Amino acid sequence: MRMKHKKMTGALLAAIMAASLLAGCSSNGTNHNNSGAEPGAAASPSATAGEKNEAPVEITWGIHFQAAGVVENSEVQKWLEQKFNVKIKPVKVTDASIASGEVPDIFMLGDPANVSAYQNQGVLSSIDPSMLKEKMPEYYADIEKNSKLFQTVTFNNELWAIPMFIDEKKPYDLGMLWRKDWLTNVGIAKTPESLEEFEQAVYAFAEKDPDQNGQKDTYGLTGTATSTWSSGFYSVFGAFGVEPTMWHERGGEIVNGSVLPETKEALAKLRQWYADGVIDPEFITDTQDSYRKKLYNGRIGVIEEQIAKAALPESATITEMKSLNPEAELAFAKNPVGPGGSGSWNWGVKSNFVVFGSKVADQPEKLEKLFEILRAQSSDEETINMTSLGVKGTHWDFAESGAASGATKFLAGFEKQEQRDQQGIRLFSLGNITMQAYREKYSNPALHEAIQTYSDSPSWTDALLFSALPSDGKYKADLTSLMQKYFAQIISGEIPLEDFDKFVTEWKARGGDELTKEANEMYQAQFKN
């Protein structure tokens, strides 16, 4: 692994060096030859030609973690380099790259636990909150309204990340996306609302030939049993009022959703479904990407999907289905209501986190530049649009023709994420660092209405907003995989349902009790109102 990684790094480095050599030819920052007569310079958005010609600040930038790979010298990268007089080296951040000492100056992490783990490894710079306030006043005013997010990434009384936030309009909340035509084919007229109706529908999908090809080749649903953070089947657990790994508040006490009696009830249900052939056996290895594909391919009849991806005719999953399987009809619906209410995995106001590499602390000029770019990514419409949407009229436009606000759409040739990544769109975007006013301007009223209709928020989220506990680094990953192993075996019938009690005992002994104690202490100190 390490060998391979080193090799790849070598190739990458060579590519980057070649690229920067090329870039050097037309850079206005090289010391010699700065007569200012380069033909390319005319396109510069804000070339500081008249001022003292400073060398560009070099920034190693960890690209968006969902992007598959680095694209060198993309259009967006060149735009940022010109606008901010920087030289960017885009890199893909992985645990392995960090462990080998390649720490970018700026990158994004998804979870306070990741921030905590990297802080423990000493690879991050702490952030002075007063500097954040001074350098990004517009954003600070917004994030202050969700100030508890600061506590989720404050360790040893220091702030280690800039939290981003989801506002009350929550496009990422999950609902159910059904094969409407399959429901019709099996004689179900109403999109399921209760857990009983949900159950009837998924059984019919497995047993009543919903695709009418005369073969038993479909399942009701699949799961994501080994996702990085929990157990999958979020809406089913949610119908019992729990979410595995999440901290829940019950009568002033903080308890963990992996080990509650209702969790066992949900497992009993899932186990029955599996035994009856309703759950796809691949639920252990399936991911959100793969279950979407299974929906497209007519192997399963319902998935959990984000409201923004499925509630509107132009939503991504709907248009993808239309292009792959034009005959299929889809219907979006709320999570099923069971004995514990309804709900799903919900991230609350928590979004991702921006972090600085440890070396930035000793480079005030670089820190200054990073804040300048961050401020623009938060409050400068031109910069936000360039990094997240690309060029208006080329890559994107407003959905309504001639509109100057509201929903946006990507134009032909850039509808797919892979196509946009090639232009650098998203690679340097930080997403939810944009200030509230920008979000308002670009919000889609139809989507907002859909969120009101389908979201269970604010039913529950993590009672500690996914804060990292002091001993998370020691226990959390182990306890999550312990849970996943037991739950997969219980659902698939490899071990009896009663082994859930064995799991609870083991979970407590292997650090769960200690984490529960810390969770309660943190709740009392920081989250209880």
**Residues in the site for Ca ion, rule: CB under 5 A?**
209, 211, 213, 215, 217
Closer to Ca ion by CB, 215 or 529: give it: 215
Distance in Å, CB of 186 to Ca ion, minimum: 11
CB of 213 to Ca ion, least distance (A): 5
Query: Which H or E run contains 350?
Result: strand 350-356
Count the residues in the chain. Answer: 529
- For the CA atoms of 369, 371, 376, 377, the dihedral, rounded to the nearest 10 degrees, stands at 110
Task: State which residue, 145 or 216, has the beta carbon closest to Ca ion.
Answer: 216
Q: Is 444 helix (H, G, I), strand (E, B) or coil?
A: coil
The stretches of 325-471 forming alpha helices (DSSP H) are 364-379, 381-388, 417-423, 436-441, 445-454
Cα separation of 412 and 420, whole Å? 11
DSSP label at 311?
Answer: S
Shortest approach of Ca ion to residue 325 CB, angstroms? 14
Beta carbon of residue 299, minimum distance to Ca ion (angstroms, whole number): 10
Q: Indicate the residue among 205 and 332 with the shorter CB distance to Ca ion.
A: 205
* Nearest residue (CB) to Ca ion, 215 versus 323: 215
Between residues 298 and 512, which has the closer beta carbon with respect to Ca ion?
298
- Nearest residue (CB) to Ca ion, 186 versus 389: 186
The Cα 179–Cα 299 span in angstroms is 11
User: What is the pairing mode between strands 162-165 and 302-306?
Assistant: unpaired
Give least dist CB 185 to Ca ion, A.
Answer: 10
Closer by beta carbon to Ca ion, 207 or else 209: 209
What does the DSSP assignment read for 106-125? EEEES-HHHHHHHHHTT-B-
Q: What does the alpha-carbon distance between residue 308 and residue 172 come to, in Å, rounded to a whole number?
A: 6
Would you say 213 or 405 has its CB closer to Ca ion?
213
CA distance 403 to 382: 17
- Give DSSP secondary structure letters for 10-59: HHHHHHHHHHHHHHHHH-TT-SSS--S--GGGGG-SS---SS--PPPEEE
Q: Is 66 left (phi over 0), alpha (psi -120 to 50) or beta?
A: alpha
Compute the least distance from the CB of residue 427 to Ca ion, in Å: 42
The least distance separating Ca ion from the CB of residue 187, rounded to whole angstroms, comes to 15
Give the nearer residue to Ca ion in terms of CB position, either 220 or 257.
220
* 513 vs 521: CA distance, rounded Å: 13
Closest distance between Ca ion and the C-beta of residue 209, in Å?
A: 4
Q: Are the beta carbons of 221 and 198 closer than 8 angstroms? A: no
CB of 210 to Ca ion, least distance (A): 7
CB of 285 to Ca ion, least distance (A): 23
> Looking at beta carbons only, is 5 or 299 nearer to Ca ion?
299
| Alpha helices, DSSP H, located in 144-210 | 148-152, 180-185, 195-207
Map residue 307 onto helix, strand or coil: helix
Q: How far is the CB of 215 from Ca ion (least distance, A)?
A: 5
Choose among 200, 176, 173: nearest CA to 186.
200
Establish whether the linkage from the previous residue to 458 is cis, with ω within 30° of 0: yes
- What is the CB neighbour count within 10 angstroms for residue 207? 15
Q: Decide whether 185 or 492 has the Cβ nearer to Ca ion.
A: 185
Whose tokens are 């928020």? That residue is: 457
Q: How many CB atoms within 10 Å of residue 260?
A: 21
CA distance 120 to 158: 13
Tell me whether residue 157 or residue 215 sits nearer to Ca ion (CB atom): 215
Pick the closer one to Ca ion by CB: 217 or 440. 217
Separation of alpha carbons 153 and 353, rounded Å: 9
- Closest C-alpha among 264, 232, 269 to residue 501: 264
Q: How far is the CB of 278 from Ca ion (least distance, A)?
A: 14
The H helix count followed by the E strand count for the chain is 22, 14
Work out how close the CB of 179 gets to Ca ion at its nearest, in angstroms, rounded to a whole number: 12
Best CA proximity match to 482, nearest among 466, 500, 497, 503: 503
